[in-house]
Amino acid sequence: MTTSSITPLKPAVRRVAQHLVDGLAPQDIAAATCLAPATIRQYLRQLRASLGCPHRCRPPVIVHFLFASRQATPPRATRPAPELAPQEHRLLKAVAMHSRPDDIAAAAGSTPAYLPGALSALLGKTGAKDATQLIVLAYGWELMTDERSRTTEAGAGAGAGQ
């Protein structure tokens, strides 16, 4: 993904994007906005296309792309960042860049069988309720700042998985 190929978000798509950043799942966005689930799915397709996200990437990856492309501003951290071990930091970045469990595990340097326990431990350590909130918190704590520049300059499309 390069900065020049990113399309500015339309207002309705930007609102859906903000709901993702706020931690709502697509079905919850539909309920909160009184829009049909099919409309939310269409907005998510437009959002992925505008950001250059891989087809079918999951909300944590979309949120990462939103922050990395500066289409959304991460919230300020309300608590200090936890100390992450190198393996935990690799897992954090893998969750931000990949949607498929096999791809996340490979990027984190682990096996798919290890992934659920490792992700659960990381969520517990950070106080995140799910992977999307984990990415939001990581950006708020500036744990992804080096990833932000690499993603927008070097391109993340090939490494972002589906």
Q: What is the pLDDT of residues 130-145, one digit of tens each?
A: 999 999 999 999 999 7
pLDDT of residue 146: 59
Paired tokens of 20? 């993702």
pLDDT of residue 145: 73
For domain 3-68, is the CATH number 2.30.42.10? no
Q: Phi and psi (nearest 5°) for 104?
A: -60, -50
Paired tokens of 150? 């690499």
Alpha carbons 102 and 16: distance in angstroms, whole number? 28
Q: What is the pTM of this model?
A: 0.83
Give the start-to-end residue ranges of the domains of the chain.
3-68, 86-146
